[in-house]
Structure 1
Amino acid sequence: MKYVLMFIETEQYRKDWEAKDQSERDAAFEAVGRWFAEHGQKITHSTQLQPAHAATTLRLSGAGEPVMTDGPFVEGKEVVSGYVEAELADLDEALRMARSWPACPVVEIRPAS
């Protein structure tokens, strides 16, 4: 079954990231690289998204014209920063994979068709 794991940054995660020195960032990138290598046979697609300020949102109200705004789709403190699609046996396997993610503190898992 296909699952999408969405990696979600929090405001605190972003602040902590910006406070890291280059050696700490390099170590974090290496940890993410190891995670991708470990799960690479199951990942069918992945991407890192541009920051939320680069987003454009179209709100479809059903009445009148859609409203277009710059920025993310919700006013919130969490932003999806990337995702992977993976072929996995079941939700338990998706949970095991998500638990080992070494970066963003939130991972949303959704079945995909």
Structure 2
Amino acid sequence: MKYVLMFIETEQYRKDWEAKDQAERDAAFEKVGRWFAEHATSITHSTQLYPATAATTVRLDDGRDPIITDGPFVEGKEVVSGYVEVELGDLDEALRVARSWPACPVVEVRPAL
């Protein structure tokens, strides 16, 4: 079954990341690289997103003309920073993979069509 694991950064995670020195960032990237290598056989697609500040939002409310704004669709304390699409046996396996993610503190798991 296909699942999407969305990696979600919190404000605190972003602040902590920005406070890291280059050696700490390199170590974090190494952990993420190992995670991708460990799960390579089940990953069918992945991408990292630009920060939420790079978003453009189109609101299609109430049948009125669309409203286009710069920035994310909500001012939230959590933003999706990337995702992977995986092909796994069941939700339990997807949750096991999500629990092993070494970076962002929140991973949303959804079945995909």
TM range (shorter): over 0.9
Gaps of 5+ in 2: none
Moved over 3 A (4+): none
The residue number in structure 2 matching 1:61 is 61
Q: Aligned ranges for residues 51-90 of structure 1 at < 5 Å?
A: 51-90=51-90
Task: Give the stretch that moved more between structures: 55-64 or 43-52.
Answer: 55-64
SS at match of 1:8: strand
The residue number in structure 2 matching 1:30 is 30
Report the residue type matching 2:101 in the other structure: W
Structure 1 position 29, deviation (Å): 0.1
The residue number in structure 1 matching 2:44 is 44
Counterparts of 1:92 and 1:72, CA distance in 2: 31
Counterparts of 2:63 and 2:44, CA distance in 1: 38
TM-score between both structures, scaled by the size of structure 1: 0.98
TM-score between both structures, scaled by the size of structure 2: 0.98
SS at match of 2:80: strand
Structure 1 position 64, deviation (Å): 1.0
* Corresponding residue pairs, total: 113
The residue number in structure 2 matching 1:11 is 11
Percent of paired sites with the same residue: 82
Gaps of 5+ in 1: none
